[in-house]
Structure 1
Amino acid sequence: MTQSSIVSAIENAILNFAPYDALATDDEVITYRQFGEYVDEFSAKLQTSAKPGEFVGIEATRTAAAIVAMTGAMVAGCPFVFIDPRDSRSQNASKIASLDIKVVARTADRSPVPVIAAASTLPWGATEEQQPRLVGVEPGDDDRIAYAIHTSGSTGEPKCVLVRVDPLGQVIQDHVRRLAVTTRSRTLQFARLTFDGCITEILWTLTAGACLVVLPEQQLRPGGMLGATLEDFRITHLKTTPFALTATEPTPGMSLQHVINGGGACRPAVVRKWSEVAAFHNAYGTTETTICNLLTDPLTPDECADGVPLGDLVGEGALHLEPVPTGPEETAAGRVTRGELVITGGCVALGYLTSTGVRRFLDGSGARIYRTGDVVEERDGRLYFLERVDRQLKVRGYRIDPGEIESAACRCPGVVEAVVTAESHDGSAQGSADALVCYYLGAATAREVRGHLESVLDGYKVPSVIQQIDALPYTRNGKVDRDALRASRRAEPDSDAAVPAAEQILQLARRLTGTTDAGLEDNFFDIGGDSASTVILVTKLKELGWMDVGVRDVLRAENLRSLVLELSERSA
């Protein structure tokens, strides 16, 4: 199945399932017969405004018209890019200029048939100073472009990826088969249209004669709102993010049959929760390799106790691991079991559109290849995500994959999610990164998390600070806001002279280790203290007035009570 066969599959669905629901919004239902008429009307208009192979912009609104426009562009043989009016004028102007877009499909008065507007007439149309940059592409059958998608920029500057036509078909066909999509299925269109996850949601639905439910963003808000939407619209197929799955609770009133985690690392607690109400799958893929490369069969909590696998191959391609610098562990002789995931073959996109043309994803021999930048580990024939290569940390002389520690923390009973960062031990913004800090969600205590990590990790990987939090902060792109987490630790302890010495020392010990229930009977090192935090503790104690305290005092103290007594006697 290629893009042309995807179009054929949609046309067959229109013909064979004419009375069935194709699209459902909050105020209307569109049958496949009506959908076919709208697509034909739009594609006929488009063919008078754009030539096959020319890029078409589609206004990224959560409406039936946007879905009609995407399908109509495919029928007309025009590659497309979604343009979100909420993005900055410069971002959208750059998309239009770089892809040489002349027309944009827009939603008008909630009509299911888009109108076609000249790009130059739009508020965010390209300026005269911006010149088209889509050069260097001589389309052959293997290089025909289906769509362009812009990465979120979470690992650097956003990049424009040109995705080829040919890989799409097999990806969609594999999803339809593995997720058992039928004419009775109802998929919630969850992903933003400027994120490539929307492509699979839309196409696995429309090629199988199922119903795509398209709703305003406020009805998709994770938590109670999303839960109500899943119930009210009888959603059977949901692909969403780890954050949404963590924040939302399944209910008996839901009609879910298949739930897919995508867009981030999946945790055992999420599998436990959602596998009770539906077949639960984990998915992995990159924009540069046609959306999805790995998808699991339905998972059970027992098989995910030690981590959630990435899945089996989807679409056309192959993969292997290339070594990356890690800690002192040794890999099996002659075989890489941990490394950067490299994807090759037909699934690989054309390349990045740059200021000088297309930078193709090819190796020296001309074979298609993409290095994902993701560190994964093979265990018992399965792949598990560890971390981004560019997020590896250097702390205390060791190179560390924070994702490995996060995954280990999430295997602790009572931990739902965890994020590990490298920070200065005193929480200051200017300090050097001399401490591993683990923030976690869940009912487990910091002591329980520390004990678990000490039992499953080498000592140098156990975070110095383990801090329970009420909620994780997220950026607009749905990524964990690590800067906000770091800022949350910068509050200084109370230095009021009226505060008893014992309480001042407890405040310091708790902040330096994250053990919020630390008491006077605790030994500083048993609750997470280390050489670096000892130096910080001594410095802070001096700032609080104990000028003659030294590192030796902390090392010799049986517990925090004895340290308090020692310092109090000196102050008497």
Structure 2
Amino acid sequence: MTYEVGLLRTPESRESPDGTATLAELWERTVRAYPDNTAIVSDEETLTYAEANERANRLARLLIGRGAGPERLVALALPRSVHMVVSVLAVAKAGAAFLPVDVRYPAERINAMVSDAAPALLCTNTYSAATTLPADTPVPRVVLDSAEAIAELDTLEGGDIPARTPSTANLAYVIYTSGSTGRPKGVAVTHAGLHGLAAVKVSTMQVTPDSRVLQFMSPSFDAFLTEFLGTFAAGAALVIPPGATLVGEPLAKALRDNAISHAVLPPAAASTVTPSAAPGLRTLVLAGEACPPDLLARWAKGRRVLNSYGPTEATVCAASSDALNGDDEITIGHPIPGASVYILDEALRPVPRGELGELYIGGAGLARGYLGQPGRTAERFVANPFDGEGTRMYRTGDLAAWRPDGSILFHGRLDNQVKLRGYRIELGEVEAVLGAHPDVGHAVAVVRTEQGSTNAQLMAYVVPINGATPAPDDLRDHAVEHLPGFMVPSTYTTIDAVPLTPNGKVDRTALPDPVVPAPRSGRPPGNPAEEALCAIFRELFDDAEITVESNFYELGGTSIRAMDLIQRAKETAGLKILPCAVVRHPTVEGLAEVATPVEDA
């Protein structure tokens, strides 16, 4: 292994893995090698590679008949399911690119994504089409479980389709991430980095044909590709547990009952279960946010634990650690094969080893850029001065430093993009949404962990206009209408002016303590559902004084606690609560009104 000052150059980081392949080719190679192996496992059905391949071929022919093809997008508005996995394969076989659409997002955000991306088709299921997907989404739909679609699929050929993707330079998928201007960014990713990602994940995770890999990630989160490729490139089984919320006991049950051997989890989710819940787990990859030392120490005994890093703009993963033990300093490891990592100063000069600089990424896995945003693309994807072949590198905005052994220490963000419980959030997008409220002149968002608490929360500060004093509930309702649940602030504090640094930038460190509303003095519970939810709220919030007007987020609720609330309501009260309901109806009274009996769900 050789080094240059501040720049790691290993043989692996300068050479792509042998061979290249599109997503469809990668899948079909495995089908030929392991046709009878179990490919997909769910509560509803289990498919072998041959069966899943035939189903994907039929759907691909249907999509081709509706206009899908190279450089065209097919939106997939589906939950974690067999339908989603088969649809991704079908889109790839059709030569098109997939656009995951989280059906839990607000209608306005879904419509904005679809309008911006202009997909040729939108695939969904009956439940999503009827309950969560905006009715006015202006794209032709294929409702996969409808009688019409099933009848048409039954008439189509199930054999493989001749390759329809001309090269690995073609578009493979588009994933939307938070945008600093208030407009989400569609990251356009080609097939070029997928073969390398698949090879790296199979190797580092040590996936074998008898492995059972948990499908945990939302398809709208690019770590879904780690699960997808790491499983299918090895001929292993991808296990899709039921339910939209996999934390706490549901996650423990999924790991235990499905004999999961490999999992990719955000640290926030891994922290909700104990290692004893996963006796068969051989490899755990922690990704999406910084890994706390105590979490690593808890999980590293008796299994292989890896820490990985990579933005969507670099095809999921750019660096990964070796197996860590509980005593290791937590790094994001070394560049993966096919990726080059640079840590540079403001003049794009490599920084000395041990000093902080901005992390840049080069290599085959770089995305094309941001869909329909050439200016933003040019700002973040810049010429690579260390490669004379006219290549680019991606400016991550992350601070990092080289260790003496060539591994990388992550030191947070340069800008106001944050990671909160595994989600990438541009604070500017939250601020832009709140700033559009008619009573708000300026808004600032910040992530803080209050003293005595271990839960980081997204908090909002607003400067009112027109002599108004917008109520926190009004601001929350406004945020809920425009932002996904994980981007809705927990608290809303009115301030006279935004504090600034000497150079005129927002000084988030000078913001006052958030105004936490006093406990509401509402009425006591008036029905069994309200009584049960009041009891659950008291358990979640350390015996706080609870009435039916108590607000989940004002009490300090987070997305992880929301999942706990949903599971407790199901198990102790027989009530089904959808994740979006916690955001839209966060009081005991509101949740009791929208909850349904589990047996009727």
Q: Normalised by the shorter chain, which TM-score bucket?
A: 0.5 to 0.7
SS across alignment from 1:23: strand
- 1:407-431 per-position Cα deviation (integer Å, ceiling 9, x unaligned): xxxxxxxxxxxxxxxxxxxxxxxxx
- Aligned position for 1:525: none
How far off its partner does 1:142 sit?
A: 6.4
For residues 342 and 63 of structure 1, what CA distance do their matches in structure 2 show? 35
- Aligned position for 1:204: 230
- 1:96-125 per-position Cα deviation (integer Å, ceiling 9, x unaligned): 333331212223589xxxx9xxxx996322
For residues 245 and 121 of structure 1, what CA distance do their matches in structure 2 show? 33
How far off its partner does 1:472 sit?
A: 4.0
Conservation of the 8 A alpha-carbon contact between 1:21 and 1:210: yes
Conservation of the 8 A alpha-carbon contact between 1:185 and 1:237: yes
- Aligned position for 1:468: 452
1:312 aligned residue (334, 356, 371): 334
- 1:1-53 per-position Cα deviation (integer Å, ceiling 9, x unaligned): 77735433322322332332111112321122211110111112122222332
How far off its partner does 1:341 sit?
A: 0.3
- Aligned position for 1:283: 308
For residues 376 and 52 of structure 1, what CA distance do their matches in structure 2 show? 38
How far off its partner does 1:481 sit?
A: 6.2
Q: What aligned pairs does 1:369-448 form with structure 2 within 5 A after superposition? A: 369-380=393-404, 381-391=406-416, 439=449
Judged with a 3 Å threshold, the aligned counterparts in structure 2 of structure 1 residues 274 and 157 are, in CA distance, closer, same or farther, namely farther
1:40 maps to 2:57: yes
Judged with a 3 Å threshold, the aligned counterparts in structure 2 of structure 1 residues 478 and 283 are, in CA distance, closer, same or farther, namely farther
- 1:515-553 per-position Cα deviation (integer Å, ceiling 9, x unaligned): xxxxxxxxxxxxxxxxxxxxxxxxxxxxxxxxxxxxxxx
Judged with a 3 Å threshold, the aligned counterparts in structure 2 of structure 1 residues 371 and 57 are, in CA distance, closer, same or farther, namely same
For residues 376 and 24 of structure 2, what CA distance do their matches in structure 1 show? 27
List gaps (5 residues or longer) in structure 1. 128-138, 326-330, 393-401, 404-435, 441-466, 494-572
1:71 aligned residue (77, 81, 89): 89
1:97 maps to 2:123: no
Q: What aligned pairs does 1:138-149 form with structure 2 within 5 A after superposition? A: 141=167, 143-149=169-175
How far off its partner does 1:61 sit?
A: 1.5
With the length of structure 2 as denominator, give the TM-score of the two structures. 0.59
For residues 234 and 280 of structure 1, what CA distance do their matches in structure 2 show? 17
**Aligned partner letter, 1:37:** E
2:359 aligned residue (341, 344, 356): 341
1:350 maps to 2:406: no
Judged with a 3 Å threshold, the aligned counterparts in structure 2 of structure 1 residues 481 and 302 are, in CA distance, closer, same or farther, namely farther
- Aligned position for 1:246: 271
For residues 178 and 18 of structure 1, what CA distance do their matches in structure 2 show? 24
**Aligned partner letter, 1:95:** M
For residues 492 and 283 of structure 2, what CA distance do their matches in structure 1 show? 34
SS across alignment from 2:377: strand
For residues 319 and 77 of structure 1, what CA distance do their matches in structure 2 show? 31
Q: What aligned pairs does 1:293-304 form with structure 2 within 5 A after superposition? A: 293-304=318-329
2:259 aligned residue (234, 238, 241): 234
- Aligned position for 2:100: 82
How far off its partner does 1:345 sit?
A: 2.6
List gaps (5 residues or longer) in structure 2. 1-17, 141-164, 420-445, 459-482, 494-510, 519-601
For residues 105 and 20 of structure 2, what CA distance do their matches in structure 1 show? 29
How far off its partner does 1:379 sit?
A: 2.3
Conservation of the 8 A alpha-carbon contact between 2:36 and 2:48: yes
Highest Rg: 1 or 2? Answer: 1
SS across alignment from 1:166: coil
How far off its partner does 1:152 sit?
A: 3.3
Conservation of the 8 A alpha-carbon contact between 2:189 and 2:315: yes
Judged with a 3 Å threshold, the aligned counterparts in structure 2 of structure 1 residues 19 and 233 are, in CA distance, closer, same or farther, namely same
1:20 maps to 2:46: no
Q: Relative contact order (alpha carbons < 8 A, sep ≥ 6): 1 or 2 greater?
A: 2
- 1:198-222 per-position Cα deviation (integer Å, ceiling 9, x unaligned): 11211211121111112344451x2
- Aligned position for 2:8: none
How far off its partner does 1:167 sit?
A: 1.3
- 1:363-418 per-position Cα deviation (integer Å, ceiling 9, x unaligned): 288421111000112222321111100159xxxxxxxxx99xxxxxxxxxxxxxxx
Judged with a 3 Å threshold, the aligned counterparts in structure 2 of structure 1 residues 310 and 102 are, in CA distance, closer, same or farther, namely same
For residues 108 and 374 of structure 2, what CA distance do their matches in structure 1 show? 19
How far off its partner does 1:313 sit?
A: 1.5
For residues 64 and 257 of structure 2, what CA distance do their matches in structure 1 show? 38
For residues 375 and 343 of structure 2, what CA distance do their matches in structure 1 show? 29
SS across alignment from 1:160: strand
SS across alignment from 2:220: coil
1:187 aligned residue (196, 213, 233): 213
For residues 480 and 87 of structure 1, what CA distance do their matches in structure 2 show? 11
Conservation of the 8 A alpha-carbon contact between 2:20 and 2:192: yes
For residues 400 and 175 of structure 2, what CA distance do their matches in structure 1 show? 25
Judged with a 3 Å threshold, the aligned counterparts in structure 2 of structure 1 residues 370 and 336 are, in CA distance, closer, same or farther, namely farther
Pairwise CA RMSD: 3.9
With the length of structure 1 as denominator, give the TM-score of the two structures. 0.62
How far off its partner does 1:323 sit?
A: 2.4
SS across alignment from 2:56: helix
**Aligned partner letter, 1:45:** L
For residues 314 and 355 of structure 1, what CA distance do their matches in structure 2 show? 28
Judged with a 3 Å threshold, the aligned counterparts in structure 2 of structure 1 residues 319 and 225 are, in CA distance, closer, same or farther, namely same
With 337-346 and 287-296 compared, the bigger mean Cα shift is at 337-346
For residues 3 and 76 of structure 1, what CA distance do their matches in structure 2 show? 19
Judged with a 3 Å threshold, the aligned counterparts in structure 2 of structure 1 residues 109 and 210 are, in CA distance, closer, same or farther, namely farther
How far off its partner does 1:492 sit?
A: 11
Judged with a 3 Å threshold, the aligned counterparts in structure 2 of structure 1 residues 204 and 2 are, in CA distance, closer, same or farther, namely farther
2:73 aligned residue (55, 58, 65): 55
- Aligned position for 2:535: none
SS across alignment from 2:188: strand
Conservation of the 8 A alpha-carbon contact between 1:60 and 1:194: no
For residues 376 and 289 of structure 2, what CA distance do their matches in structure 1 show? 28
For residues 377 and 350 of structure 1, what CA distance do their matches in structure 2 show? 27
Conservation of the 8 A alpha-carbon contact between 1:472 and 1:480: no
- Aligned position for 2:523: none
How far off its partner does 1:157 sit?
A: 4.2
- Aligned position for 1:29: 46
**Aligned partner letter, 1:19:** D
- Aligned position for 2:391: 367
Judged with a 3 Å threshold, the aligned counterparts in structure 2 of structure 1 residues 386 and 6 are, in CA distance, closer, same or farther, namely same
How far off its partner does 1:264 sit?
A: 0.4
How far off its partner does 1:335 sit?
A: 5.8
For residues 448 and 115 of structure 2, what CA distance do their matches in structure 1 show? 44
